């Protein structure tokens, strides 16, 4: 997932992925460019969709990084 990329590369994004991918935080919120969003294999649904509603600045092309593989 995008969260794994951040963790595995020791990227310094303070607070990103606070719940370690357990879908309880929304700190891994990403906003994709429309053309990139359309290339993703799936759309947010279920728990991801619910948690996205709590993210700040959510857009039509938002995803949670821990759910994008
Ligand atoms: Fe918490 Fe993605 S890391 S919801």
pLDDT digits (tens, 9 = 90+) for 1-57: 999 999 999 998 999 999 999 999 999 999 999 999 999 999 999 999 999 999 999
Q: So what's the pLDDT on residue 61?
A: 98
d(CA 24, CA 51): 7
Asked if the ipTM is above 0.95, the reply is yes
d(CA 5, CA 56): 22
pTM of the entire structure? Answer: 0.93
Closest residue by Cα to residue 39 from 59, 61, 67? 61
What is the distance in A from the centroid of ligand 1 to the CA of 31?
A: 14
What is the distance in A from the centroid of ligand 1 to the CA of 3?
A: 8
What is the distance in A from the centroid of ligand 1 to the CA of 8?
A: 15
DSSP for residue 63:
E
d(CA 49, CA 6): 22
């Amino acid at each position: 997932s995008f969260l794994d990329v951040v963790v595995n590369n020791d990227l310094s994004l303070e607070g990103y992925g606070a719940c370690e991918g357990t879908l309880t935080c929304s700190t891994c919120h990403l906003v994709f460019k429309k053309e990139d969003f359309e290339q993703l294999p799936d759309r947010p649904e279920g728990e991801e969709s619910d948690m996205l509603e709590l993210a700040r600045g959510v857009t039509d092309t938002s995803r949670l990084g821990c759910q994008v593989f």
